[in-house]
Amino acid sequence: MERQPAAPPPSLRERNRQRVREQLIEAAVALVSAQGFAATTVDAIAAAAGVGRATFFRYFESKDAAVVVGFYEYRLSRLVEILHAAPAKLAPFDAVTWAIEQLGAEAERQLPFIELQARLLAASPSLHAKALEFQASYENAIADAITGRYRELAPNDLRPRLLAAAVLAMMRIITDYWNDDHRDQNLAQLSRAALEHLGQGFGKVRPPSLPSGGS
């Protein structure tokens, strides 16, 4: 596929909010890993992140949300954002591929954080179940982001949701595999290989015709 320009970066305000969110998530995961989920309090998470209790609750409704929802929220919400920014000429699957490549480039600096959280979720079935529940909540958002890239789509056409579900499953499986004693492998390369397999089916869908002068 032809290389496309990078997605627009988030604004300064968005970056600052994301920095605080990441500090809270990192503090939550580190504390839970060190002393267990039950012994970790919201006050301790906020203190470790260098913010107040009120600031914590502006970002998360509970410590569960900081550990579980926070683990997926940034990457999944960013994926949806990038999908909306993908070049209009890209077909549904090509747009997904482009978006995941953009997301993978951003995630390089987060590898130690991804590893720590993956270990935590693997050790707690209840937290893992909550993570899957949250991940499933993004299926419709991803499907909505690619729906307009199909030429014709009947109300009962499940292709956008099928592609969204496949992408979410791929991201989860790749992360689990990478964390299961395969951290010497490159996450971005694993994602590309998985996308190639998915593309054998989903990649045959063509984008709708663009109006003259469209890009």
Long-range residue pairs from 178-185, CB within 8 A, at least 24 positions apart, any chain: 178/118, 179/114, 179/115, 179/118, 179/119, 179/122, 180/122, 183/115
Domain region containing 191: 67-202
With respect to residue 37, please indicate whether it lies within any of the assigned structural domains.
no
The Cα angle at residue 197 between residues 192 and 198, in degrees rounded to 5: 95
Q: What is the largest CA-CA distance in the chain?
A: 61
Residue 17 belongs to a domain: no
Do the domain assignments include residue 83? yes
Query: Is residue 214's pLDDT more than 60?
Result: no
Q: What is the DSSP secondary structure assignment for residue 86, as one 8-state letter? A: S
The Cα 138–Cα 79 span in angstroms is: 10
Instruction: Work out the pLDDT band at 50, boundaries 50, 70, 90.
Output: very high
State the CATH number of the domain containing residue 165: 1.10.357.10
- Stated length of the chain: 215
pLDDT averaged over the chain?
84
Exposed / middle / buried, residue 45 (Cβ in 10 Å: 0-12, 13-18, 19+): buried
150 occurs within a structural domain:
yes
Model pLDDT, residue 5? 54
In a domain, 208, yes or no: no
Q: Closest by alpha carbon to 75, among 174, 204, 161, 184?
A: 174
In a domain, 146, yes or no: yes
**Considering the domain boundaries, does residue 212 fall inside one?**
no
Quote the CA–CA distance of 164 and 136 in Å, as a whole number. 10
Number of domains in the chain: 1
CB atoms within 10 A of CB 148: 14
> pLDDT of 118-156, one tens digit each?
777 777 787 788 788 878 888 999 999 999 999 888 888
Decide if 215 is inside a domain.
Answer: no
171-189 mean pLDDT: 86
